[in-house]
Structures are given as structure tokens and as C-alpha cells.
Amino acid sequence: MTPPLSRRPLLGCIADDFTGATDLANNLVRSGMRTVQTIGVPADADAAVDADAIVVALKSRTIPADDAVAQSLAALRWLQAQGVEQVVFKYCSTFDSTPAGNIGQVTDALLDALHGPGQGFTIACPAFPDNQRTVFKGHLFVGDVLLSDSGMRHHPLTPMTDANLVRVLQAQTQRRVGLVDQAVVSRGAEAIAQRFRDLQADGVGVAVVDAVSNGDLFLIGRALAGMPLVTAGSGIAIGLPQNWQATGALAPSSVADRLPAASGLRAVVSGSCSVATNAQVLHFRQHGGEAFAVNPLDIAAGEDVAAQALAWATPRLAHGPVLVYATAEAEAVRAVQARLGVAEAGELVERTLSRIAAGLVQAGVRQLVVAGGETSGAVVQALGVTQMAIGPQIDPGVPWTAVTSPVYPGETVHVALKSGNFGSTDFFTKAFARLASETRA
């Protein structure tokens, strides 16, 4: 059953990890769309959602491609039952993937489901200029360097050694991949839309689109009006709401990011090994923050590191935010992976950090920052969260959210899920200050 028209969401989104989902939802909220984020596909296909946009958060970025496809198709079916008019498949602004997938395979499956096998057309645009992710001549830049020269080349799960998105995507998809370059984008929305039509007529199924500024994303957004499927990073969210505003279907809300007042103890759990998060951990420690380092080799040796971390943290929580981290430099990460294996090392750390996070909430933490996409997914699942309200932005791509958890029922827990690559050096301390100022009663 389709929900009543008055409550029908306009936009449905499928995100391949939990931090990316909140990143996307953050940009939609900032554009005035009332946005609900679900954790996984809700069990009730008939439950109406009172929001302008829905973001379904999956943990599918690094799982086998067949599993990622199955989860994404389930999310699509649920969103279709909600009556959404357009679907976004959201991936990371650094196009995190491997030659085996999963961006191309999921894109193919969603296009096939919406248009028929081998049919349909969509774009690929991971650009997010606010976070220094831009695409030019089909190549992805992180700041002033190519993706392949950035810290992403050392990512433990999805090392990105090629910045040419046409080439990267073509290795993953059965469809032809084309390019809409900056020269076309700069001519405006109609020129972009015409390029889409020309490429589709030429047999192209997916077009990488250049974008070097927010202005480009607004132009691209206008050209995407009516396109059933869009694949992109979270930056595209700033360009899509205008299409419904123009038709009167969307009246932007000035309180779309309002959350309940914050209370309770504060903590940070970090599993990311990115350059940005390493700097954030170092800043927190150098400025007097209490921190506990998790060693994967201790976990592998059978030590109950989660219990050790909680015993350490509990008496310190009353004196300010504490940090529990498994963050390490790339060389140290590779050494651990060599001992334990890439997948096993990651799973050991995720399970331990998620146990720690649940224990911290049981100990009274009601303001929790989590760093790292895989870690965020494990933590949210451990807390039993099924839905998140999106609140104010801390840094580009990272909002506070409000959730309820069966770990401590009846109380609101404020959670910030931070992609490893996002946030300023002082992010951890800034996050708590921002929440206090934004939610003060």
C-alpha cells in the first residue's frame, strides 16, 4: 500500500555506509528538507514516513558485491512502496571501491530494476566541494591532489590508486561509461541535460559528471529533474531540492535540523585510520583529553579489551569527554593486517569498539561521537538504532543526530557519525561545543 499523498516522501536515498547516510541527510536538511534516516531496510513496507526525504543507511560498501546488490534492491523496493519520485544511490566522495565493486554493480542492479535489463541512464558524481572533493575531466581530486596521490591510496579496505573515474567505474559496470566535462557543465542546466540525451542516444548508460563548485552542483541538480536514479556523493543533495521547490511540492522548513536538548556524559569512539582522524586523535590527546588505545593484537590474543576500556573510562567520564581509539598510522595498520588478515583485523576492531560504545551508553554517555564508516555501522547496530533524526552540522558532511536505543530505553542519545576523512583537526572538542550551543533549551 502506498502512503497517503500528503505524507509521501519526494526523495528516497540508499547509502552504502552509515556515515555517508548522515552526510547525505545533513545536506538535505540544510536545504530545508525534513529528512528521516533509517538503519537498514525497515521491516514494515507499509509504514508511512512523514518526511520530505528518506535515507536508508546500509553497510554495503565493502561486503561482497552480490550481497550489496541484494541489500540495495531491498532498499529500493521499500522506497518505492513509500512512493518516492526519485532515488539517489549515495557512495563516498572519494569513490571508495575496488576493481570488484561495489559502485558499478549496485548501479547496474538499480537501473535494471527501474528500467529493465541493460536499459536506463544515470550519472556518477562524487564531488563535494565543501569538503574539497572535486571532479575535473573525469578525474577526482582531494584538495589540490589527485585521489591517487592522496591518503586514500593507503586505505586498508578500498585503496584508491586511480583518479580516473571513467576508468574505475568502467571496470565495475556492464554499461558504457561516458563523461560530461566542465566545459559542458559551465554552460548551464540545459546544456548538461542535452549532453545526457546525446550520451544516452550513443549507448552510454552512466555518465561521470565534472563538478568543481557548489554552483556546478546546482546546475547539475536542475538537469537531473525527473531522472529516476541518481548516483553520487552527498554533495548532489544541495542541488536536488530546488526542483521540488520550483513546482511547489516542497516548502523548505527552517527547523528541519532541530533536536532535543543534549544532556549526559560525553565520549568519542574512533576506528578510522585516515589521515584526518589520526590528526583529530592527536589533537584531542595533545590538548589534555583522556584517551585509551585499542590494540588489535591484544584482542586477537584473547584479552577482553572492551572490558579493559570500559573499566578505564567509567571513572573518567564525569570529568569530561573520553576517547577510545584504534586509530593508527598506515604502516602500523599494514603490520596488523599482515598478522591477522585484512578482514579479520577489521572485524575484531569493529566488534570490540561496538561493545565499548554500548557499554559507554549503559554507563551514562548520551553524547557520542563515532569516527570511521565501518566503525559507525558496527556501533549503530550494537546500539539497536533503527531511525535517526538529523540535526545541526558540525563540519561539512557531519551532523549531530538524535536516536533512541534499547541499550538504555526511554532517553535520547545524541550521536555524530563521522567519515574518517571528514572534519577539522579539533573536530572532537568542537562537536560537543556545537551540540551544547545548538540544543540548549
CATH number at residue 288: 3.40.980.20
CA gap 334, 321 in Å, rounded: 30
Q: Tell me: pLDDT of 129 over 90.
A: yes
Phi-psi region at 320: left, alpha or beta (left = phi > 0; alpha = psi -120 to 50):
left
Backbone torsions φ then ψ of 345, nearest 5 degrees: -60, -45
Q: Is the pLDDT of residue 139 over 80?
A: yes
Query: Across residues 90-117, what is the average pLDDT?
Result: 94
Which amino acid appears at position 352 of this protein? T
Average pLDDT of span 299-304: 88
Q: Answer yes or no: do 73 and 121 share one domain.
A: yes
Are 223 and 172 found together in one domain? Answer: yes
* Mean pLDDT in residue range 98-126: 96
pLDDT for 5 beyond 50: no
pLDDT given for residue 441 in this prediction: 43
H or E stretch covering 381: helix 373-382
pLDDT confidence tier of residue 7, bands split at 50, 70 and 90: low
Taking only the tens place, the pLDDT of each residue in 398-432 is: 999 999 999 888 899 999 999 888 999 999 999 99
Give the domain-ending residue among 186, 215, 247: 247
What does the pLDDT average to over 260-278?
A: 93
Domain end point (choices 247, 278, 298) = 247
For a pLDDT cut of 90, what percent of the chain falls above it? 75
Give the pLDDT mean for 83-94. Answer: 96
Kindly report which listed range (1-15, 115-129, 221-235) carries the lowest average pLDDT score: 1-15
**pLDDT band at 99; cut points 50, 70, 90:** confident
* Mean predicted confidence (pLDDT) in 231-242: 96
Residue 440 has a pLDDT of 56
Task: State yes or no: pLDDT of 179 exceeds 50.
Answer: yes
Whole-number Å distance between alpha carbons of 264 and 259: 15
Range of the domain at 385: 265-439
Residue 98 shares a structural domain with residue 34:
yes
pLDDT at 1 over 50: no
Report pLDDT for 159.
87
Q: What would the pLDDT profile of 314-362 be if each residue is shown by its tens digit?
A: 999 999 999 999 966 566 666 667 777 766 767 888 999 999 999 999 9
- CA distances to 92, 342, 345, 347, 354 from 339, in Å: 29, 9, 9, 14, 22
The domain total for the chain is 2
Same-domain status, 287 and 237: no
Q: Return all residues near 416 (Cβ < 8 A) that are at least 6 apart.
A: 22, 368, 369, 370, 394, 398, 399, 400, 401, 431, 435
* Total Cβ atoms within 10 A of residue 316: 15
Rounded to 10°, the helix 65-82/103-115 angle is 40
> Which one of 198, 218, 247 terminates a domain?
247
**One domain, residues 230 and 275:** no
Q: Same domain, yes or no, for 239 and 332?
A: no
